[in-house]
C-alpha cells in the first residue's frame, strides 16, 4: 500500500493515497510493490499488509481501488462494500 511517509512499527506515519473517483472517496492499494512506481512522486514508501489488516486500515467512508490505472487488473470496492467486509471480518 503506497504511503506518503514512512510508517513506524506502531503504525504512526501512515498516510495512504486518498482520492475521489466517480464521486466516492477511495484509497489506493496495489497487489505488487512494482506497480506503485507510477505514484513514487507522492508515495515514497510502501506498506505491505495481509488482506485482513488492509481492510482495517481503510478510513471510514472510503472505498478501495486495487491497482488503480492498471488496465485489466484494476478492481474497485465501494465504501459500502468495505463497510460490509469489515462487518463480516468482525463476526
Tens of pLDDT, residue by residue over 14-48, are: 899 999 999 999 999 999 988 988 888 888 898 88
Q: How many domains does the chain have?
A: 1
Structural domain span for residue 78: 2-90
pLDDT of residue 86: 92
Residue 91: pLDDT over 80: no
Burial class of residue 57 (count of CB atoms within 10 Å of its CB; 0-12, 13-18, 19+): middle
pLDDT of residue 33: 87
Closest CA to 14 of 23, 28, 3: 3
pLDDT of residue 21: 94
- Quote the pTM value: 0.86
Question: Which CATH number do you get for residue 55?
Answer: 3.40.1350
For 50-78, write each residue's pLDDT tens digit: 888 899 889 999 999 999 988 899 999 99
Overall residue count recorded for the chain in this entry: 91
Amino acid at each position: 500500500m503506497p504511503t506518503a511517509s514512512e510508517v513506524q512499527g506502531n503504525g504512526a506515519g501512515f498516510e495512504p493515497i486518498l482520492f475521489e473517483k466517480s464521486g466516492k472517496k477511495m484509497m489506493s492499494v496495489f497487489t505488487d510493490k512494482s506497480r506503485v512506481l507510477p505514484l513514487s512522486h507522492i508515495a515514497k514508501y510502501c506498506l505491505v499488509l495481509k488482506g485482513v489488516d488492509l481492510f482495517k486500515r481503510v478510513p471510514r467512508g472510503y472505498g478501495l481501488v486495487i491497482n488503480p490505472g492498471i488496465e485489466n487488473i484494476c478492481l474497485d470496492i465501494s465504501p459500502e462494500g468495505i463497510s460490509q467486509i469489515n462487518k463480516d471480518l468482525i463476526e
